[in-house]
């Protein structure tokens, strides 16, 4: 069984930065694709960033150049560094682990960008 626990969300002013963390339990983290998704009120959940087992990354167009996903396989943790935050980045951010057709989700962490 895999559990994902996100942390690092909060309230930040436009232009500010936050770093989200997602710690995974279990033994499959290093061989899993990790992702960050977000869901704003009244909108569907959308992909923000992905990182493969080999470290390749993919980003939504709306966050390219501002967000960076990274992983530490020794700590079983994936990170999302968010810079130059905008009000439209406000959402609940979810961590996702994908492994041979299985998916696991964290409970989400709220990010609010407002002055």
Q: What is the pLDDT of residue 35?
A: 98
Check whether 96 has a pLDDT greater than 90. Answer: yes
pLDDT band at residue 26 under the 50/70/90 scheme? confident
Q: What is the pLDDT of residue 58?
A: 98
b or e along 56-90 (b: 16 or more beta carbons within 10 Å of the residue's beta carbon)? eeebeeebeeebbbebeeeebbbbbebeebeeebb
Q: What is the residue-averaged pLDDT of the chain?
A: 96
Lowest mean pLDDT among 18-22, 25-29, 73-77: 25-29
pLDDT band at residue 1 under the 50/70/90 scheme? confident
């Amino acid at each position: 069984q895999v559990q994902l626990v996100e942390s690092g969300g909060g309230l930040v002013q436009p232009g500010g930065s936050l770093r989200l963390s997602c710690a995974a339990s279990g033994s499959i983290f290093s061989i899993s694709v990790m992702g960050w998704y977000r869901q704003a009120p009244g909108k569907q959940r959308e992909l923000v960033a992905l990182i493969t087992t080999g470290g390749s990354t993919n980003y939504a167009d709306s966050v390219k150049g501002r967000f960076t996903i990274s992983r530490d396989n020794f700590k079983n943790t994936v990170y999302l560094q968010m810079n130059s935050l905008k009000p439209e980045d406000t959402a609940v951010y979810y961590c996702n682990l994908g492994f041979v057709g299985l998916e696991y989700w964290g409970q989400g962490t709220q990010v609010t960008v407002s002055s």
